[in-house]
Structure 1
Amino acid sequence: MNRYRKEMTAAMLAYVVLLMASVWWLRSGTLDNQTARIAVALCPMIAGPFICWVVVRQLRRVDELFRRVQLEALAIAFAGTALITFSYGFLEGVGFPKLSLFVVWPVMAVLWILGSVFSARRYR
């Protein structure tokens, strides 16, 4: 777990640094070209593949039970996120405010955590 924490900390630190630099640069008003603004806005995502790589490496290092718990947790998160986002999409059709796609990942993350707790309890 210690190796995972170091790798994840480094990947998340890279994401945060890129995010802060991107926000600062976009707010500075020095980018007149739309293509440049798009590139700078997407800069934080450079760290994304590294974060995914860290998670996959960790899943490859752990035992079968932990993998099973995480698979169940991800299934709960996937299905729950689909149900919540589709339901809210229908509510937007009747006047609810439109939400940014930025809310999808936090919903999935919370459901993944809850799914992990639920699945881990099942195997105690």
Structure 2
Amino acid sequence: MNSKQYLKELGLALLAYAALLIASIAWLNGDPNLGSPWRDLIALSPMLGGGLAVWAILRQLRRLDELQQRVQFEALALAFAGTAFISFSYGFLEGLGYPRLSMFVIWPLMAVLWMLGLLLAARRYK
């Protein structure tokens, strides 16, 4: 029951994100002379769906039992610390002339480290 509710909430949030993303791109491409405050708000509008996804994830974490919460906590701690370590390390390399990376690299890196953390934590408590 909990996972069905979570998938429903997360699915609706991601659908809202996708719809707002498509609409914002179409609107911004259709009116290149749009003024700054409106242009910025339209560009950020998909994050309303992103905020709903954060809400759905937090609700699901609260529904988990204590052991699963601990597994998630350890996985997220690894993802947070690992992302900081890797991004700071690469920042030093950028100072040596390595290409600058987009901020869009951070979330996939954190997601991969979260999954790795889940595998390690789940193995630890098996």
TM-fit CA distance, 1:51: 1.1
Between the aligned partners of 2:83 and 2:38, the Cα distance in structure 1 is 33
TM-fit CA distance, 1:57: 0.8
Between the aligned partners of 2:17 and 2:89, the Cα distance in structure 1 is 31
**What residue in structure 2 maps to residue 68 of structure 1?**
70
TM-fit CA distance, 1:45: 0.7
TM-score for the superposition, normalised by structure 1: 0.94
Between the aligned partners of 1:59 and 1:32, the Cα distance in structure 2 is 40
- The counterpart of 2:38, out of the listed 36, 39, 56, is 36
Identity, % of aligned positions:
56
* Paired positions, count: 124
Runs of 4+ in 1 over 3 A off after TM superposition: none
Q: Are 2:117 and 1:104 equivalent residues in the alignment?
A: no
TM-score for the superposition, normalised by structure 2: 0.93
Question: How big is each residue's C-alpha offset from its partner over 1:10-55, in whole Å with a ceiling of 9 and x where there is no partner?
Answer: 1111111111111122222344312221111101111222111111
SS at match of 1:103: helix
**What are the ranges of 5 or more consecutive residues in structure 2 without an aligned counterpart?**
none
Between the aligned partners of 2:18 and 2:112, the Cα distance in structure 1 is 20
Q: Are 2:65 and 1:59 equivalent residues in the alignment?
A: no
**What are the ranges of 5 or more consecutive residues in structure 1 without an aligned counterpart?**
none
